[in-house]
A = this chain, B = another copy of it.
Amino acid sequence: MRKLTSTPKQDGFRMPGEFEPHRGTYIIWPERPDNWRNGAKPAQKVFTQVANTIGKYEPVTVIVSDGQYQNARHMLNDYVRVVEMSSDDSWVRDCGATFVVNDQGELRGIDWSFNAWGGLVDGLYFPWDKDDRIASKMCELEGANRYRLDDFVLEGGSIHVDGEGTLMVTEECLLSAGRNPQLTKEEIEKVLCEYLNVEKVLWIKEGIYNDETNGHVDNMCNFVRPGVVALAWTDDENDPQYKRSHEAYEYLSNEVDAKGRKLEIHKILTPTPVLITKAESEGVDAVDGTLPRQVGDRLAASYVNYYTGNGFVAVPVFGDPHDELAIKQLQELYPDRVIEPIYAREILLGGGNIHCITQQVPETRK
């Protein structure tokens, strides 16, 4: 497949909303013992559950190293496709391709530079070269030509689009020193508009408290459909999340999207703060240069880190009193989709959630 030097906007390609029809979903198998406790065995069980659940609704491809290939193949349902690929960790939302489509039904990929959420400034591990090659390999598998940005760092979890010209990001992430410090906010916005083919960028100030991704928007806020968003929320004034959510609400309430619409904002209460236990911390290998998982650390738990696919919404739950409310609210927001709650504490322990470990390939057929 080809590496393209033009841009999606120039070529008439756009990124569809996640809620639009999918050709399928990618997931990367978790392995690294300095991030996933107990040799990643508990995480592999939950990733398997996520893959098997999504596979009921649309084709799922699981990316896995040669070393774990047979184990993954044995654990996953037959309807999941397993392909070998090297990676540094398992966050395909962030290192994988961002797919765009045109009106003629052609699929292309955007291959952003990936630097493990901050490179040598505040990245979470080193090196990250295998992760940075994932997007190009996904494009080959999908038969998609590829826009490569050698000089622009971005993760898929730091963007959400409505498919109709509007993009949502956070300043906390996109303006952080570990991403593109050589560019001004205006220059960054220009790149986003050119590659995602959008006209309006909504700049939420911050994401979820203590989110090691520098506050990815996908843990904080999501487009349910054009004009409608779900926002992580707390009414507890003593929670450091309070100010973050309230500022986002105020900002979004006073903005319009690319089509000039006011946004309908649905507040989704976050779970009771989730802290790493002693047992959970002790299961993680200590390796210099990898973010440690220390007992008592607060995890960036949020129901908004859900994944929307063909006829379903896969929602992380935590065994928390707020689980039920989140499920109820999401069912009301997505009346035509099956809500699939998955107990996801294990994914959260690794630093993200269901949305972070999935990447959609949009449907290109009409």
Contact = CB atoms under 8 A, between A and B. Distances in A.
Interface string A200-213: 00000000000000
Contacts of A86: 66, 84
B83 A133 contact: no
Given A83-B83, A84-B85, 18 more contacts: A1-B78, A1-B81, A2-B78, A66-B85, A66-B130, A66-B133, A69-B133, A69-B137, A73-B136, A73-B140, A81-B140, A81-B141, A82-B137, A83-B140, A83-B141, A84-B84, A84-B86, A141-B141
Contacts of A143: 81
Q: How many copies does the complex hold?
A: 2
A70 interface: yes
A70 B1 contact: no
Interface residues of A, number: 20
Nearest 9 pairs of A and B residues by beta carbon? A66-B86, A2-B78, A84-B85, A82-B140, A81-B140, A84-B137, A83-B140, A84-B84, A1-B78
A142 to B, nearest CB: 10
A94 to B, nearest CB: 19
**Which among A66, A83, A86, A143 has the greatest number of chain B C-beta atoms within 10 A?**
A66
22 contacts: A1-B78, A1-B81, A2-B78, A66-B86, A66-B130, A66-B133, A69-B137, A70-B133, A81-B140, A81-B141, A81-B143, A82-B137, A82-B140, A83-B83, A83-B137, A83-B140, A83-B141, A84-B84, A84-B85, A84-B86, A84-B137, A141-B141
Contacts of A82: 137, 140
A361 to B, nearest CB: 15
